[in-house]
Amino acid sequence: MSEKMWSGRFTLPTDKFVEEFNASIHFDKRFYKYDIKGSIAHAQMLGKQGIISSQDVQDIERGLAQVLEEIESGKFEFLTQDEDIHMAVEKRLTQLIGDAGKRLHTGRSRNDQVAVDFRMYLKAEIQEVLALINNLLGTIINKAEKNIDVYMPGFTHLQTAQPILFAQYIMAYFQMLKRDYGRFADCLERMDYSPLGSGALAGTTFPIDRHFTAEKLGFKAPTENTLDSVSDRDFAIEFLSACSICQMHLSRFSEELIIYSTSEFAFIELSDDFCTGSSIMPQKKNPDMPELIRGKTGRVYGSLISMLTTMKGLPLAYNKDMQEDKEPVFDAVDTIKASLKIFAPMVEKMTLLTPKMVKAATAGYSTATDYADYLVRKGVPFRESHHIVGSTVAYAIQKGVDISELTLDEFKRFSNVIESDIYGSITLEASVNARKAYGGTARSAVETQIKNGRNFLDEIR
């Protein structure tokens, strides 16, 4: 029974299977740096407040430094009977420095200890995610600039709709990821409060200084309600929500990379080092990386749903159910970071098959809307012009030609207002560059988007 730091109340040892079922050390050991950092700040606060001696503080700092070295060098043994990283560190500390190690837990509980570790861990991980998004945003904007004159078809319902610039297309994902950056940054802002010192749920009778530990640990301030502090996992749920939305954006982008790299589309070619081959078909070049990113999106969604389900019926304050909060977050962290790390070089190294994209942009009567706009400018009401264009397209389909290949006499069958200037309105270049409104696909409008994107990157770097 002496192995358990809480064993004084109990007369029987923990059942072996219960011990294994109860333990979280094999996954929450990921917190070790933050647990040690939090313990050092707590010890320094206890010393400052005269709750423990300065000698105890020195011994604790020395002992925790040794524990950190042992963990990072691989010498530390993580044991199931230690339950979690908090107990494992404290146990080893006490072995190293004696009674001073037993005084470390004064004025705190594992409830506020895990809460502060979790927040410090996520704060650090969010900074890494933000850096990865930043890198991908830079890659996207470079790709847009280098291919500013490349035309491609824009789609609705996966049917050719209107011609657009490739730069306009890829800058759409810039906007999505820019919003993702904002969501993670907002999440970081809201979690920047320290729960340390909240105790089990009601605070502590010792004269602690929570503002001191919050500042030491790099938090904006301490949390304001101890009950909420130890039972709050909103910050993790918000993080998982941001991960889910970002992963969804990567999945949509992946879907298009997969489609556009098929022989049927052949708009792009992914670099060989981001693809794999077939075990039986030697000609195959499979887009496995975007397929994996698309596939892993489900597990990120699952992490969010898991956390929401865990928390949905919990009474205040801490409940053991909340031990299930970490693995979904760890998995989502690993998945979103890996996906972002893959995506930037994959986009950077992909080749645009420009002739095929341009040819596809001219197909499917993609300038029909420009034809309708031409009629409107000639005084034809839009709804009437819509019908005229539809009839013209039906005629062209029967002839097996594009509308730009019709003669002026053929155009006049559908409206007498049509003149020879129609041909200047329904070319690929004219169609794209006519859309000059802010946010549009005209080169001038896309150049503005790129400029604004550059300004955003300058602001966050």
Q: Which two tokens stand for residue 149?
A: 């004159």
User: Among residues 2, 157, 279, 420, which one is catalytic?
Assistant: 157
157 belongs to the catalytic site? yes
* Residue 150 neighbours by CB under 8 Å, 6+ apart: 165, 166, 167, 352, 354, 357, 358
CA–CA gap between residue 35 and residue 112 (Å, rounded): 11
Please give the Cα distance from 11 to 353 (Å, whole number).
74
Residue 441, classed as helix, strand or coil, is coil
165 CA to centre of own chain: 27
Question: Per the residue annotation, which of 7, 53, 54, 278 is the catalytic one?
Answer: 278
Coil/strand/helix, residue 148: coil
CA distance 154 to 146: 19
Helix (H) or strand (E) holding 299: helix 288-311
**CA nearest 256: which of 139, 170, 180, 174?**
170
Helix, strand or coil, per DSSP, at residue 193? strand
β pairing state of 159-165 and 193-194: unpaired
Indicate if 249 belongs to the active site.
no
CA dihedral defined by 311, 314, 316, 320, rounded to 10 degrees? -90
Burial 355-371 (b: 16+ CB within 10 A, else e): eebbebbbebbbbbbbb
- Cβ contacts of residue 384 below 8 Å, gap of 6+? 375
- Of the candidates 392, 350, 317, 38, the one whose C-alpha atom is nearest the C-alpha of residue 166 is 350
Among the listed residues 291, 177, 324, 300, the one whose alpha carbon sits nearest the alpha carbon of residue 239: 300
> Which of the residues are catalytic?
157, 278
